[in-house]
């Protein structure tokens, strides 16, 4: 089900048909060994009407990833891309991967890896692309950088490191990653939000170290401070403070067009 929080409307999406779902199975596999990851195509990629809504769903087994797309125009699911995992065993653990979206592509990164999985939604194909060695074991996010370049934010201690490279038809150019900037951060424990980048901004969460080490944690959880980083100007601004136990990592931005009834 796709829910529009601004207009309080929703659209119910039918299940992936059994004959298509069977395409993802391999001999001896069980349903509980298959992982489903639904996500929306950003509204900016589509025409400005509700019929342009597209829902993606990655179905991951131990041996491959298959991407399905549902369109309100046809009212049907369609298998559009597949990728054999092969030696990329880290892809077999999708719960550890973070999904990012930039320049009509989706990117999946893993904290412990220095490569990423890329889905080009224009060509509808997958590829595996190298990341800088410094990205291994670091929190990171794929973003849209200046001049139409592909950006990579790496969080290290009290700094953001911004890398970029050119883009090509498969979503990533062949040149090496270039280190563009270092952005100092206040004295907090930092994490990049699961929501990733939206409309040129990145949402990050910081927990002040003095609160964390005050001796009252975990009985009294510290506040979570949210900041935005504007990628074009590298301006770092405080957004809000939320209670740690009730805060979440999704920033409402870049809404899709209003959905069809029924409404809530």
Q: Per the structure, how many domains does the chain have?
A: 1
Q: pLDDT at position 26, please?
A: 63
Asked if residue 261 belongs to a domain, the reply is no
Q: pLDDT at position 14, please?
A: 92
Residue 202 CA, chain-centre distance (Å), reads 11
Q: pLDDT at position 264, please?
A: 47
- State pLDDT tens for residues 120-140: 988 899 999 999 999 999 999
- State pLDDT tens for residues 157-167: 889 999 999 87
Asked if residue 245 belongs to a domain, the reply is no
Per the document, the length of the chain is 264
Q: What is the pLDDT along the chain (264 residues), one digit of tens a residue?
A: 888 777 788 888 999 888 887 777 666 555 557 888 998 886 555 444 555 678 999 998 888 999 999 988 888 999 999 999 999 999 988 888 999 988 889 999 999 999 999 999 888 999 999 999 999 999 999 998 878 889 999 998 889 999 999 876 555 656 789 999 999 988 888 888 765 556 678 888 888 887 766 555 556 677 788 888 888 888 888 888 877 655 555 555 555 566 655 544
What's the domain range around 48?
2-182
What DSSP string runs through 210-232?
HHHTSS-TTTSPPEEEEEEEETT
Asked if residue 197 belongs to a domain, the reply is no
Asked if residue 178 belongs to a domain, the reply is yes
- State pLDDT tens for residues 24-63: 766 655 555 788 899 888 655 544 455 567 899 999 888 8
| Cα(123)–Cα(80) distance, integer angstroms | 10
Retrieve residue 162's tokens. 């911004």
Does the model's pTM come out above 0.85? no
| Cα(105)–Cα(113) distance, integer angstroms | 19
Asked if residue 240 belongs to a domain, the reply is no
Asked if residue 32 belongs to a domain, the reply is yes
Q: pLDDT at position 72, please?
A: 81
| Cα(99)–Cα(118) distance, integer angstroms | 10
In the sheet that 139-144 helps form, which strands lie side by side, from edge to edge? Answer: 139-144, 150-156, 159-165, 178-184
Asked if residue 224 belongs to a domain, the reply is no
Asked if residue 251 belongs to a domain, the reply is no
């Amino acid at each position: 089900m796709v829910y529009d929080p601004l207009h309080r409307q929703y659209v119910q999406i039918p299940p992936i048909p059994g004959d298509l779902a069977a395409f993802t199975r391999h001999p001896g596999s069980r349903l509980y060994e298959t992982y489903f990851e639904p996500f929306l195509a950003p509204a900016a990629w589509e025409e400005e009407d509700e019929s342009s809504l597209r829902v993606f769903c990655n179905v991951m087994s131990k041996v491959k990833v298959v991407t399905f797309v549902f369109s309100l125009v046809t009212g049907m699911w369609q298998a559009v891309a597949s990728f054999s995992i092969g030696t990329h065993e880290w892809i077999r653990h999708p719960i550890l991967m973070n999904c990012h979206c930039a320049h009509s592509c989706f990117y999946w990164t893993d904290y412990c890896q220095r490569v990423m999985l890329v889905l080009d939604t224009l060509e509808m194909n997958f590829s595996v692309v190298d990341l800088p060695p410094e990205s291994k074991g670091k929190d990171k996010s794929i973003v849209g950088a200046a001049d139409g370049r592909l950006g990579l934010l790496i969080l290290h201690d009290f700094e953001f490191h911004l890398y970029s490279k050119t883009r090509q038809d498969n979503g990533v150019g062949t040149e090496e990653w270039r280190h563009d900037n270092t952005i100092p951060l206040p004295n907090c424990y930092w994490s990049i939000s699961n929501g990733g980048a939206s409309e040129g901004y990145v949402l990050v969460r910081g927990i002040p170290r003095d609160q964390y080490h005050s001796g009252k944690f975990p009985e009294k959880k510290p506040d979570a401070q949210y900041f935005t980083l504007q990628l074009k100007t590298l301006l770092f601004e405080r957004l809000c403070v939320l209670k740690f136990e009730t805060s979440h990592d999704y920033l409402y931005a870049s809404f899709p067009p209003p959905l069809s009834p029924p409404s809530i």
